[in-house]
Amino acid sequence: MDSRPDDSRRRFMKGAMWVISASTLGTGVMMAPTANAAPSLTEYKPVFFTPDEWAFVLAACERLIPADETGPSALDANVPIFIDRQMLGDFGQASDWYMKGPFMEGPAELGFQSPLTPAQTYQKGIAATNTYCRQTFSKSFAELSPEQQDQLLTQLQHNELKFDGVSAKQFFDFLLQNTKEGYFADPIHGGNKNMEPWKMIGFPGARASYLEWAELHNVKYPMGPVSLNGDRG
């Protein structure tokens, strides 16, 4: 039998270390493995986005999952940090996707056909949206009122704005998808700070063991969440 190289595990360890080192980079402090280890958004220095882009991401996330009494906002949950980290990873770089040409447009049902990676889509989408905002309102997206921002996001979502070289809808779809991912993915990925979004909905995270609970019907599960690195909420 051929010997098995322990590649996948090593890569996972490397991946996990990368997550920690990236946040260490961002905050400039060593991370302690405690529940309060999540970096603060205001001190975080993005590794991918430029300051202009970062201002857009912060503003857009705030509108997609706003602050109110229901539960944490996207900013409370560090969603922008999650998105920033995704950009240099496999998702942002479309490493797993088939990105060979020719690129042709087709019916929507045939799916994603863009030559742009998600990271490039963000860059072009943010630039195009800010250009549009500056031309129309003499302000960047981040400087608009919340109502104006909501309206613009709706226009992007419905593909009502036509940009050169990037689809407004594709850009919005990535942004919304990643915002929800950052809100609900395990905190190891940078968002879901202190598992507050999980607590809001009642998801117990990585517990993954419920045998004795299966037959307790119509009873609310009582335990709080656990994250992959052992934090408890």
Partner 1 sequence: MARQEKPVDVVLVGLGWTNSIMGMELAQEGLNVLALERGEDRDTVPDFAYPKMADELTYGVRYKLMAKPAKSTITVRHSLTETALPYRHLGSFLPGDGVGGAGTHWNGHTWRPMPEELRLRSYVEETFGKDIIPADMTIQDFGVSYDELEPHFDFFDKVMGVSGKAGNVNGEIHEGGNPFEGRRSSEYPLPPLKRTFNDELFTNVAKEHGLHPFPLPSSNASEAYTNPYGMQLGPCNFCGFCERYGCLNFSKASPQTCILGALKQHKNFSYRANSEVLKVELADDKKTAKGVTYIDKNGEEVFQPAKIVIVGTFAYNNVRLLLLSGIGQPYDPVTNTGTVGRNYAYQMMGGATLFFKDKFFNPFIGAGSNATTVDDYAINQIDFAKEGFIGGSYLLAAQTNGQPIRSMPLPAGTPSWGAGWKKATKDYYGHSMSISSHGSNMSYRDCYLSLDPNYTDDHGLPLLRLTFDWKDNDIRMTQFMKGKVEALAKGLNPDHLNISFKDFGAKYDVRPYQTTHNVGGAIMGTNPKTSVLNRYQQSWDVHNVFVLGSSSFPQNLQYNPTMLVGGLAYWTAKAIREQYLKQPGPLVQA
Positions 79 through 108 that interact with partner 1 (CB under 8 A): 90-91, 94-100, 102, 104, 106-108
Does residue 32 interact with partner 1 by CB under 8 A? Answer: no
Q: Is 71 helix (H, G, I), strand (E, B) or coil?
A: strand
Q: Rule CB under 8 A: is residue 164 a binding residue for partner 1?
A: no
CB within 8 Å of 107: residues ≥ 6 apart: none
Least distance (Å) between residue 135 CB and partner 1: 25
Report whether 151 contacts 144 (CB < 8 A). Answer: no
Residue of 185, 167, 196, 166 whose CA lies nearest to 81: 185
- What residues between 120 and 159 interact with partner 1 by CB under 8 A? 150, 153, 157
Q: Is 4 in the site for partner 1 (CB under 8 A)?
A: yes
What character string, x for contact with partner 1 (CB under 8 A) and - otherwise, covers 55-84? --------xxxx-x-xx-------------
| Distance of alpha carbon 126 from alpha carbon 119, whole angstroms | 11
Cis peptide before 102 (omega within 30 of 0): yes
What sign does the CA torsion over 183, 186, 189, 194 have?
Answer: positive
Within 165-204, which residues bind partner 1 (CB under 8 A)?
176, 179-181, 184-186, 188-189, 197-198, 200-204
Other C-beta atoms closer than 10 Å to the C-beta of 40 total 11
Pick the piece of the chain touching partner 1 (CB under 8 A) from 29-37, 43-51, 130-138, 208-216.
208-216
In this chain, which of 166, 205, 231, 233 binds partner 1, going by CB under 8 A?
A: 205
Nearer to partner 1, 134 or 207 (CB): 207
Q: Is 210 in the site for partner 1 (CB under 8 A)?
A: yes
Q: What share of the chain is helix, strand, coil (3-state, %, to 5)?
A: 50, 0, 50
Give whichever of 128 and 226 is closer to partner 1, judged by the CB atom. 226
Residue 215 binds partner 1 (CB under 8 A): yes
Number of residues in contact with partner 1, rule: CB under 8 A? 71
How far apart are CB 105 and partner 1 at their closest, in Å? 9
* 3-class secondary-structure state, position 46: coil
Q: How far is CA 5 from the centre of its chain?
A: 32
Q: CB of 138: closest distance to partner 1 in angstroms?
A: 26
Which alpha helices (DSSP H) does the chain contain, by range? 7-27, 51-64, 79-88, 118-137, 146-157, 168-184, 196-201
